Amino acid sequence: MDELGKNKNSRGGLIILIIVLGALFAGCVENKAPQHTSTPIPPVTTPIYTYKILNTYPHDQKAFTEGLVFEDGYVYEGTGIKGESTVRKVDLETGRVLKVHHLPTQFFGEGVTVWEDTLIQLTYQSRIGFVYNKESFILLRAFTYPTEGWGITHDGKHLIMSDGTSTLYFLNPETFEEVRRIEVRDAGRLLVPHLNELEYVQGEIYANVWLTNRIARISPETGRVVGWIDLEGLLSEEDRLQPVDVLNGIAYDAPHDRLYVTGKYWPKLFVIKLEEVQSPA
């Protein structure tokens, strides 16, 4: 065989060898590659609670309830509507108004909370809040905030405020400056708007969701909804013979672990016990 033939044979053998080695190498790489399997992610289910009525008390049906607090055996309530807005102290057993302060007619009253020896009240779109002496209802000071005012409560350290969106604001109770904020989401994903009246209950923020019969139970650390309270049917049809408005008003009696709820123009205030009806799978 001439030199040219030798070279062709050598090159042909080399090409075959490269192809074989390449195939073997590819097989080794394929065998060593991690095997990715598709594992379905189970849906996140937020627990849902219903209620058992433990007691009922009369409630002023002329009260357009915006805020509710229980303190030392009495109910403190903030009401809305321009020209009708008040902050009041109410006898729980009878629903009788024991003390009342009328806001100037240009203000639409909103949420209230008790902080130490004061009573704090928000207004709707005026961006002004008021601080009263809890006993005398004398106005001590006013403060401002940059959003609408809807609901307010506190965790013993900060005031917590809603503005009708999915955001909750934590405020310094002395300066009323914002310390931090959280976005409220259900199942860690969906924003929950229309957060209204607030109450701090055993380490959670309870929030009425405006235009619904539900209360969201919210983690103050993460903003995640950790439970829903479904109050559908709480107010009977016979109690709706007179015009009523939406569910709004949450108060908590910590010493006796009792939860009070009512609504705008509702004739009754309810004491309820929560019962879980749905849990995550």
Sign of the torsion angle spanned by Cα atoms 202, 205, 49, 69: positive
N-term to C-term CA, the chain: 79
Pairing mode of beta strands 224-230, 48-58: parallel
The tokens describing 131, both together, are 């601080």
Residues 177 and 220: their CA atoms lie apart, in Å, by: 18
At 27 the pLDDT is: 42
Residues 22 and 228: their CA atoms lie apart, in Å, by: 60
Structural domain spans, the chain: 48-278
Inter-residue contact 53 to 272 (CB < 8 Å): yes
Asked which of 47-56, 243-252, 270-279 is least confident by mean pLDDT, the reply is 270-279
- Band of pLDDT at residue 21, cut at 50, 70 and 90: very low
Residues 6+ apart with CB under 8 A from 144: 127, 128, 129, 176
Using a 10 angstrom Cβ sphere, with 0-12 exposed, 13-18 middle and 19 or more buried, the burial of residue 98 is exposed
Question: What residue has token string 């207004």?
Answer: 123
pLDDT digits (tens, 9 = 90+) for 107-144: 999 999 999 999 999 999 999 999 999 999 999 999 99
CATH superfamily of 48-278: TolB, C-terminal domain (2.120.10.30)
Identify the CA nearest to 95 among candidates 55, 135, 132: 55
